[in-house]
């Protein structure tokens, strides 16, 4: 068909009669639609073939003028520009939403809010931003590739995995790839329990050590936008900062306790020495 020719070549094409068609299927479709002549041109957006614009005539012995398919390409260029503008506006709106979500979480981290509150905010913001059905923050146990869920969120369409649950990521899954490589990953996963899924995952690195992964999933047929797994890492970094802050505070409290204990022991020793000296 004229559309298939454009898709395969990326160039304008024309068919002036059924005799120009090369397959029985194309000739059958031509007769079913009552076509006599067709022209088509590619719609190219950002260097890739986005689609095809075509025009057909059903009047016998009334072909399109020579070069009409190339002039149709001028209209295709206008369509491509309109599509590119619309996509750019959507991308800008998505970027603004992402920055707002990151700012809300960063505010909690900067305020020193409890780790549980920050991790809950991270998973919720990711879920709402990317339209995920479920988001989980997992910690790698490192024993037989086991992970422990330390935070989760669900939109209600997926059962939420309870905090503290232990499970094994499937071989080749986005979660396991992150734990093996330390880099963001995306994949389609399938399991008897959950069915097919689109999954993105990003590492959570605390003090230069891979602690776990932040994962989000959608059902089959609802793939995440291109590069979503890369942008997900920003939320993983905020979760890591909250975890690092709490670890630092715990270490500081332990250090203060050791200092106080050492001071008490030194004071008791001085008192004992003074008492013994007086004796």
What HEC string does 201-224 produce?
EEEEEECCEEEEEEEEEEECCCCC
Higher model confidence: residue 51 or residue 21?
A: 51
Tokens of 28: 């059958």
Long-range contacts of 154-160 (CB under 8 A, 24+ apart): 154/127, 155/127, 157/133, 158/133, 158/134, 158/217, 160/134
Distance, in Å, from the CA atom of 149 to the CA atom of 72, rounded to the nearest integer, reads 56
DSSP string, 5-60: HHHHHSS-EEE-SGGG--SHHHHHHHHHHT-SEEEEEEEEETTEEEEEEEEEE-ST
pLDDT at 271: 75
Give me the mean pLDDT over the 74-103 stretch: 92
Indicate the pLDDT class of residue 24, thresholds 50, 70 and 90. Answer: confident
> Please, what is the average pLDDT of the chain?
85
Give the CA distances from residue 265 to residues 12, 258, 259, in Å, rounded to whole numbers and listed in that order.
89, 10, 10
Distance, in Å, from the CA atom of 214 to the CA atom of 234, rounded to the nearest integer, reads 10
**% of the chain surpassing 90 pLDDT:** 41
Distance, in Å, from the CA atom of 250 to the CA atom of 275, rounded to the nearest integer, reads 37
Q: Is 160 helix (H, G, I), strand (E, B) or coil?
A: coil
Give me the mean pLDDT over the 150-154 stretch: 86
pLDDT tens digits, residue range 236-272?
A: 999 999 888 876 665 666 667 667 677 777 777 777 7
pLDDT at 192: 46
Tell me which of 57-61, 143-147, 162-166, 205-209 is least confident. Answer: 143-147
pLDDT at 146: 79
pLDDT at 247: 65
Higher model confidence: residue 48 or residue 193?
A: 48
Distance, in Å, from the CA atom of 246 to the CA atom of 207, rounded to the nearest integer, reads 12
The answer on pLDDT for 208 being more than 80 is yes
Does an H or E element contain 271, and which?
Answer: helix 228-278
Distance, in Å, from the CA atom of 136 to the CA atom of 160, rounded to the nearest integer, reads 9
pLDDT tens digits, residue range 90-147?
A: 889 888 999 999 999 999 988 888 888 999 999 999 999 999 999 999 988 765 567 8
Tokens of 166: 């232990």
End-to-end CA distance of the chain: 112
Tokens of 202: 């990003």
């Amino acid at each position: 068909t004229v559309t298939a020719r454009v898709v395969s070549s990326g160039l304008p094409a024309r068919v002036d009669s059924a005799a120009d068609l090369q397959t029985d299927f194309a000739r059958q479709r031509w007769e079913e639609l009552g076509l006599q002549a067709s022209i088509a041109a590619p719609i190219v957006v950002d260097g890739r073939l986005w689609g095809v614009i075509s025009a057909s005539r059903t009047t016998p012995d009334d072909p399109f003028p020579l070069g009409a398919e190339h002039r149709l390409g001028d209209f295709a260029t206008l369509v491509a520009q309109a599509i590119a503008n619309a996509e750019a506006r959507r991308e800008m709106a998505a970027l603004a939403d992402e920055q707002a979500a990151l700012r809300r979480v960063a505010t909690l981290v900067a305020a020193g809010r409890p780790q549980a509150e920050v991790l809950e905010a991270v998973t919720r913001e990711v879920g709402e931003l990317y339209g995920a059905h479920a988001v989980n923050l997992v910690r790698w146990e490192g024993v037989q590739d086991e992970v422990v869920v330390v935070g989760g969120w669900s939109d209600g369409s997926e059962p939420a995995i309870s905090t503290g649950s232990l499970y094994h990521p499937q071989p080749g899954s986005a979660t396991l790839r992150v734990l093996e490589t330390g880099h963001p990953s995306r994949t389609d996963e399938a399991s008897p329990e959950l069915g097919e899924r689109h999954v993105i995952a990003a590492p959570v690195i605390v003090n230069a050590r891979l602690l776990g992964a932040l994962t989000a999933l959608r059902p089959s047929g609802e793939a995440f936008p291109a590069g979503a797994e890369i942008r997900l890492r920003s939320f993983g970094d905020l979760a890591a900062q909250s975890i690092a802050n709490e670890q630092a505070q715990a270490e500081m409290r332990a250090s203060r306790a050791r200092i106080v204990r050492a001071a008490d022991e030194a004071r008791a020793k001085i008192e004992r020495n003074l008492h013994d000296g007086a004796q």
